[in-house]
């Protein structure tokens, strides 16, 4: 990602984020997620959600893909 990524979804867990990222990648959208949970060692810190991120140029397509769920 050349510019600052944008958040397209906030989900409840790292597992949900991995599924969303996998779905986006399967559609050719470069995606990742950010969780403030000590690298997965303290999942209770995910209480504020896990953010799914994409490049600004892919934001519209990513939101469309995720909305179809």
Confidence of residue 14 (pLDDT cuts 50, 70, 90): confident
- In the block, residue with structure tokens 């934001």: 59
Q: Which domains does the chain have, with CATH numbers?
A: 6-67 (3.30.70.1530)
The pTM of this model reads 0.82
CB atoms within 10 A of CB 42: 11
3-state helix, strand, coil in the chain (%, to 5): 45, 20, 35
pLDDT, tens digit, for every residue of 55-69? 999 999 999 999 987
Residue 49: predicted pLDDT: 83
pLDDT, tens digit, for every residue of 21-52? 999 999 999 999 988 655 555 555 556 789 99
Angle subtended at Cα 45 by Cα 39 and Cα 25, rounded to the nearest 5 degrees: 55
Q: Tell me the residue length of the chain.
A: 69
For residue 34, what are the β-bridge partners? 51
């Amino acid at each position: 990602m050349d510019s600052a990524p944008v958040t397209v979804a906030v989900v409840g867990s790292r597992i949900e984020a991995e599924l969303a990222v996998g779905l986006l990648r399967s559609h050719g959208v470069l995606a990742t997620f950010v969780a403030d949970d000590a690298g997965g060692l303290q999942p209770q810190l995910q209480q504020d959600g896990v953010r799914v991120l994409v490049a600004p140029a892919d934001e519209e397509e990513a939101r469309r893909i995720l909305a179809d769920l």
